[in-house]
Structures are given as C-alpha cells and as structure tokens.
Amino acid sequence: MKRALVPVLAFAAAAGVGFVPSTAAAQTIIDEWANVKAPPAPQLKPVTVDPKTTALLMLDFMNQNCGQRPRCLATIPAMKKLLEQARAKGATVIYTFFGKTTAADVLKDVAPAANEQSVTSFADKFLNTDLDKKLKDKGIQTVIVAGTAANGAVLYVGSGAALRGLNVIVPVDGISSVDVYSEQFSVWQLANGPTFGAKVTLTKTDMIKF
C-alpha cells in the first residue's frame, strides 16, 4: 500500500496539488430523514370517461383487510356510489382478491355482481394473473383504480397499468392504507413516477363522469 501511494503523492506535490483524503461521508436519506419536507399536494382534476373502454378495478375490498381499517371503511360510501354509476353506464368492473379470499369476503356494500370478473394475486395484480388479457379482450383504454392498500395494490396496479399504456384514474377518496403517510407517498409516486406518472390522473369519485 505504501509503495502505491508514493507515486501519487509525488505527482501531487510536483503538480502543486494538495492531497487531502476525504473524510466526509455522503448523506443518505436515513441521515436526512427528519429534514425532508413533503412537496405540495398534486392537483385533482375532473375526468370524463367512455364506459365502453373503461374498467373500474376494485382492489381488495375485503373484510379481512378493509373491514379492519377505519380509513378503508371511510371510503366505502363513495365507492358504493361510484360502483353503482359504473354499472349503470355499462363500464367493465373487475375485482381483485388476495391469498385464499374470494368474492364472499368482499364488504357487502361493494360486493361483486355475479357476472363480474376477478383475479387473485398480492400487491401486483398483473403478476401471475390474466388481468392484462381481460383488459385487452374488453378493449379497455382507461382504468379507474380504487382500493386498499394504497402502497400495495393501488400503487402497483396503477403504475403497472400505466406502463402498459393505459390511462389511469385514481380517486383519492377511494383509496386507503393503514396510515396517512402510506397514502401520501403512494399518491405522490403515482402522480410523479418516471414514465408512468404522465398517464395517471388524480381525482375524486364525484369528479368522475361516465
């Protein structure tokens, strides 16, 4: 090691350059955590969709998770109304489940109709399912993504749909998680994520027209 340093030091001295080893370590996000300030909230926008090419994705509104989360239960009245509107206009409705849950586990107020399709997976509902095929077979160009958890199914399905070229609408009063921060960073990422953020529109259920 000493032999390797001699030429370097000699060169630095000859060139008149001071050789000062760096002792300051780069700051990581953990080091700066307490100093991070949240950016301004994204803007909510009204949207009008064509029910013939739009699918409402109802993500994991199960008794086992949503039924145990006050923030999720608070979204149910708005989602019940949006679901009724989507059905009345003939939009496609697709449900998602996880693990061994089934349609029987969905909260009663937003339970699936007998003819509505579903897929089962965990956070990424495109993974190991035919969700992409179901959407293509229906000629879907726009998906409305609602459900829980915001930092799980909503984030992965929303970004995944956008990366597949679909227009993505996320009603912020129709998504939830176990805590506010999880919802906040998920909404920010959906709106600002590289490539896919440009395909995402944030809105509220009463700002969606079919």
174 band by pLDDT with thresholds 50, 70 and 90: very high
Superfamily of domain 44-209, CATH level 4: Isochorismatase-like (3.40.50.850)
Predicted local confidence at residue 148, as pLDDT? 98
SS3 190: helix
**Cα 94 to chain center, whole Å?**
17
pLDDT at 65 over 50: yes
pLDDT at 13 over 80: no
Average pLDDT score over residue span 142-155? 98
**What are 22-45's pLDDT values in tens digits?**
545 789 999 999 999 999 999 999
Measure the CA–CA gap between 5 and 186, rounded to whole angstroms.
49
Identify residue 140 by its one-letter amino acid code: I
Predicted local confidence at residue 24, as pLDDT? 58
pLDDT at 71 over 80: yes
SS3 18: coil
pLDDT at 5 over 50: no
**What are 46-56's pLDDT values in tens digits?**
999 999 999 99
**What are 78-126's pLDDT values in tens digits?**
999 999 999 999 999 999 999 999 999 999 999 999 999 999 999 999 9
Which residues, listed in sequence order, are joined to residue 85 by a DSSP beta bridge? none
pLDDT at 16 over 90: no
More confident residue, 2 or 125: 125
Domain locations along the chain: 44-209
In the block, tokens 């509505």 appear at 116
Q: What is the mean pLDDT of the chain?
A: 92
131 band by pLDDT with thresholds 50, 70 and 90: very high
